[in-house]
Amino acid sequence: MPSAESQPDGALTFSTTHFGPVSRTTLSFQITPRLSGSFRYVGIRDWNLNIGCRPACVGTDAFETYYDRSFDLRFRVLDEGRYLPAVTIGLQDLAGTGLFAGEFVVATKNVAPNLKVTAGLGWGRLGTEGSIGAPFGQRPAVNIGRGGDFNPNQWFRGPAAPFGGVEWAVNDNWTVKAEYSSDAYIEEVGRRATFDRQSPFNFGVEYQNGPGMRLGAYVMHGSEVGLAAHFLFNPKERSTRGLNDGAPDPVIVRPSRTADPEAFDRGWVAQSGAAEILIGNLNRRLQDDGIEVDGIAYDGATAQVRVTNRRYDSEAQMAGRVARAMANVLPASIEKFEIVPVYNGMPSSRFIVQRGDLEGLEFAPGATAGMLSRIIVADAVGSVPGTLTIAEDRYPRFRWSLAPFLKTSLFDPDQPLRADLALRLAGSVEAAPGLVFSGSLTKTLVGNISDSRRLSNSVLPRVRTDGILYDQQGDFGIETLTGAWYFRPGKNLYGRVTAGYLESMFAGVSSEILWKPVDSPLALGVEINHVKQRDYDRGFGLRDYSVTTGHLSAYYTFGEGYLAQVDVGRYLAGDVGATLTLTREFENGWRVGAFATKTDVSAADFGEGSFDKGINLTIPLTWGTGTPSTQSFPMVLRPIQRDGGARLSVNGRLYESVRGVHADGLEDQWGRFWR
């Protein structure tokens, strides 16, 4: 039974509930304080047990356990007031097969400090028990077919039925619930008889110890026992609370100019070897912080230090550490510090800090806000004080790793969760600034992904649905082997050319230009790739299929962490269309987003799901461990992977690399500048 209450803004909840033959696993996200979205995976066991079709069941009856994926949206239209309840409107399974579709309007009111009452009206699935008629007309039949399309002509149509419930919080830990459900489970208890539904009433008791986890046990429909577990994550706050990171070097304050005029002499600028000595001294200060000096440039009053940040997820903290190292190392005559983060050899932005502000604000009551108002973010292109000296031992730089990783395959109806434990050997050489050669080999150690028997039935070029063949025939192979050149063609511009084995399934050339001023919410990009499909064994061989694919992209940040991205272009299967991605990004780097791609491929040719869509989730490592790290775990959750609307996967795409070190990214975790 739905409730009108919302989760805290930004909360991500993972629920798994089970009763009788029905299992539901749901991932929900509170997109805004009022709007939430859910992705649900439902499994119904004994689907064809009692319909007498075995062993020759066909169509949807072929499944012993029927699995379905669905999306929900809920919007709270009214906040709870002194007399008024909270009211929420919801759409369940709004783009699905229709079997789980239902709409509702629901109100919830706290009538006493620990007593909550909920009442609502449901349509569709939620209008199947105790209907009061069809106030908005008949519900048109839905063609289950491939599923995946929106069915707005169904919404709030057909029989409506009331539902309701009460919830009593016995104390902080225990809650008792009773509800009247308007879902008759027609398909499940009708001819399929997957369970015996004796009553619309459900009763339950729930236990929670803090906001992170809630466990429940229920008596469902008078005949079944149910169990549930709900987990709540708050992306806004690090799970470890604090940061596991040593103190910075304190600012060393210069003597006053009158007390020691000689200290301010600029003669040192002409001294040969000064740059190397300063680079060495800065590196000694920054070594423990995982920051490496790429180069230094200075005149008598300004010094620019270019750094590669290998550690801090927070650019603000990186800038704070480098600024303090500069205050410790640089001669007193330097009044202006310029910090230039370098990403893949590209100098990106330039953070300009007045040395006097650093000295004066270090412990001041408004130190954090004060520094934010004084720091200047500019483009790194076109401004170097004096001449740039690149650190002698910076290039070439070789890095390698041998580490295990986990690969998962979700929603195969034969086995909804498959996983492989695999080993990756990766290496990279930064030969010169911006020139990076890298490669990786992977080997599956143990797992069942390649056991899948679901071979492609796609009528499009099989640019993604043949993935299983790569898993089966290429369990040891080349993942990537590329040469990449990153460069700055001009102010506000970033460029990349990558050639080689770009991803597991494609090899070729990928090129990209991005326009992104440091303080602009808008960025524009062009990407053009020419690729050929790789052999299934993931060796050096190529198959016949080749395609030129590319996109024009626009990126816009609306503030408050909401981002939109539109990509228009040609996809891997040669189809033409557009992708819209909406993302909410939290200041610590957590991201939750959804995307949908519509191309000129018809729903029939696309196959199950009708068009490509899914959810993105990125969890920064620092959030989980508290130890600063630039690493994060990105995940893409697609109800199904088909060939339409598929994009090339290439490392080092520019927008994400560049944005973090721009004004936006710097402000996000600004609180860590002085940390």
Partner 1 sequence: MTCFSFRVLPAGLLVVSGMLLVACGNSDEVQAQKALAKSLSSFVMPATSAPVPALSRAELAQFNTPMIVAEVPEKALRFYMAPVAENGAVVTWSTSNDITFSFRSDVLAATRGLAVDVIESSTPSARALLSGQSGQRSAGYLGATDQISKVSYDCSVTVVGPMMITVLEKQHLTTKVQESCVADGGKIVNEYWIEADGKVRKSKEFLSDDLGYAVIERIFDR
CA distance 167 to 216: 13
Is 389 a residue that touches partner 1 (CB under 8 A)?
Answer: no
DSSP state of 320: H
Which two tokens mark 136? Answer: 């908005």
Report in angstroms the alpha-carbon separations of 593 from 33, 287, 320, 584, 634: 16, 36, 30, 6, 11
Which two tokens mark 460? Answer: 């499009």
Applying CB under 8 A, the span of 30-38, 166-174, 569-577, 624-632 interacting with partner 1 comes to 624-632
Report in angstroms the alpha-carbon separations of 463 from 29, 477, 518, 545, 643: 31, 18, 36, 9, 6
Which two tokens mark 634? Answer: 């990105």
Say if CB 376 and CB 352 are below 8 A apart. Answer: yes
Closest to partner 1 by CB, 184 vs 319, is: 319
Is 674 a residue that touches partner 1 (CB under 8 A)?
Answer: yes
Q: Within a 13 Å sphere around the CA of 5, how many CA atoms are in the beta-carbon half? A: 10
Q: Give the strand pairing for 336-343 and 302-309.
A: parallel
Applying CB under 8 A, the span of 173-181, 489-497, 515-523, 665-673 interacting with partner 1 comes to 665-673
Q: Which residues is 436 bridged to in the sheet?
A: 430, 484
Q: Binding partner 1 by CB under 8 A: which of 362, 479, 537, 608?
A: 362
Is 560 a residue that touches partner 1 (CB under 8 A)?
Answer: no
Report in angstroms the alpha-carbon separations of 51 from 55, 56, 62, 88, 355: 11, 11, 11, 38, 79
Is 58 a residue that touches partner 1 (CB under 8 A)?
Answer: no
Closest to partner 1 by CB, 15 vs 669, is: 669
Is 374 a residue that touches partner 1 (CB under 8 A)?
Answer: no
Closest to partner 1 by CB, 253 vs 603, is: 253
Is 240 a residue that touches partner 1 (CB under 8 A)?
Answer: yes
In the complex, the smallest distance separating the C-beta of residue 630 from partner 1, rounded to whole angstroms, is: 6
Is 617 a residue that touches partner 1 (CB under 8 A)?
Answer: no
In the complex, the smallest distance separating the C-beta of residue 254 from partner 1, rounded to whole angstroms, is: 11
Is 403 a residue that touches partner 1 (CB under 8 A)?
Answer: yes
CA distance 652 to 434: 11
CA distance 1 to 119: 9
Is 626 a residue that touches partner 1 (CB under 8 A)?
Answer: yes
Q: Give the strand pairing for 201-208 and 213-220.
A: antiparallel
Say if CB 67 and CB 73 are below 8 A apart. Answer: no
Count, residues near partner 1 per rule CB under 8 A: 55
Closest to partner 1 by CB, 143 vs 401, is: 401
Applying CB under 8 A, the span of 33-41, 174-182, 220-228, 243-251 interacting with partner 1 comes to 243-251
Counting every residue written for the chain, the total comes to: 675
Is 11 a residue that touches partner 1 (CB under 8 A)?
Answer: no
In the complex, the smallest distance separating the C-beta of residue 590 from partner 1, rounded to whole angstroms, is: 11
In the complex, the smallest distance separating the C-beta of residue 393 from partner 1, rounded to whole angstroms, is: 14
Q: Binding partner 1 by CB under 8 A: which of 267, 366, 490, 634?
A: 366
Q: Binding partner 1 by CB under 8 A: which of 627, 634, 635, 636?
A: 627
**What single letter denotes the amino acid at residue 13?**
T
Is 625 a residue that touches partner 1 (CB under 8 A)?
Answer: yes
Q: Binding partner 1 by CB under 8 A: which of 85, 216, 248, 345?
A: 248
Closest to partner 1 by CB, 89 vs 251, is: 251
Is 500 a residue that touches partner 1 (CB under 8 A)?
Answer: no
Is 314 a residue that touches partner 1 (CB under 8 A)?
Answer: yes
Is 621 a residue that touches partner 1 (CB under 8 A)?
Answer: yes
In the complex, the smallest distance separating the C-beta of residue 371 from partner 1, rounded to whole angstroms, is: 10
Applying CB under 8 A, the span of 247-255, 335-343, 485-493, 574-582 interacting with partner 1 comes to 247-255
Is 237 a residue that touches partner 1 (CB under 8 A)?
Answer: yes
Q: Which residues is 569 bridged to in the sheet?
A: 551, 577
In the complex, the smallest distance separating the C-beta of residue 362 from partner 1, rounded to whole angstroms, is: 5
Closest to partner 1 by CB, 465 vs 630, is: 630
Report in angstroms the alpha-carbon separations of 250 from 312, 357, 669: 18, 14, 20
Closest to partner 1 by CB, 58 vs 446, is: 446
In the complex, the smallest distance separating the C-beta of residue 243 from partner 1, rounded to whole angstroms, is: 7
Q: Give the strand pairing for 346-347 and 349-354.
A: unpaired
Per-residue mark of binding to partner 1, 424-443 (x: CB under 8 A): --x-x---------------
| Furthest C-alpha separation in the chain | 99
Closest CA to 454 of 495, 418, 428: 418
Q: Give the strand pairing for 224-233 and 302-309.
A: unpaired
Is 9 a residue that touches partner 1 (CB under 8 A)?
Answer: no
Strands annotated E in 84-200: 86-92, 102-112, 115-124, 161-169, 174-180
Rg (CA), the chain: 29
Residues that bind partner 1 (CB under 8 A): 236-238, 240-253, 290, 310-311, 314, 359, 362-369, 399-404, 426, 428, 587-588, 621, 624-627, 629-631, 668-672, 674-675
